[in-house]
């Protein structure tokens, strides 16, 4: 059974900022590859680089913290992204429910 390992980048708070397949140090940062392609991560964008880390499915940047001693742990400060369109739809739904409740109370 083969184990896939990745390179993990973290910020100063140990928040995972990137999980990449390959990382090579170049003059202006790290040349990395992942499922989106090949690009440079500037050395200003991270603090720690952890090569050859086993990453379980479901581990994603920002949602997890990582240290070599503690491994991955859920980021208690993580707030999932909600698109503006979804926020608008949620507010419209809440307003409709509130209006229906008012109408019921008024007997309309």
My answer on whether 67 and 26 are in the same domain is yes
Over the stretch 47-105, which tens digit does the pLDDT of each residue have?
899 999 999 999 999 999 999 999 999 999 999 999 999 999 999 999 999 999 999 99
pTM, two decimal places? 0.74
Give the total number of structural domains in the chain. Answer: 2
My answer on whether 47 and 97 are in the same domain is no
Over the stretch 9-37, which tens digit does the pLDDT of each residue have?
999 999 999 999 999 999 999 999 999 99
Which burial class, exposed, middle or buried, applies to 50 when counting CB atoms under 10 A from its CB (0-12, 13-18, 19+)? middle
Element (H, E) at 34: strand 29-34
User: Is residue 23 within 8 Å of 72, Cβ to Cβ?
Assistant: no
Domain span at residue 35 reads: 5-77
């Amino acid at each position: 059974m083969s184990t896939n390992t990745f390179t993990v980048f973290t910020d100063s708070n140990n928040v995972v900022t990137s999980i990449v397949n390959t990382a090579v140090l170049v003059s202006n940062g790290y040349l990395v590859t992942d499922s989106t392609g090949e690009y440079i991560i500037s050395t200003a964008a991270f603090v720690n680089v952890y090569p050859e880390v086993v990453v379980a499915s479901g581990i994603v940047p920002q949602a997890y913290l990582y240290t070599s001693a503690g491994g991955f742990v859920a980021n208690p400060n993580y707030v999932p992204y909600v698109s503006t369109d979804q926020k608008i739809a949620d507010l419209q739904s809440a307003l409709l429910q509130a209006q229906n409740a008012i109408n019921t109370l008024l007997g309309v």
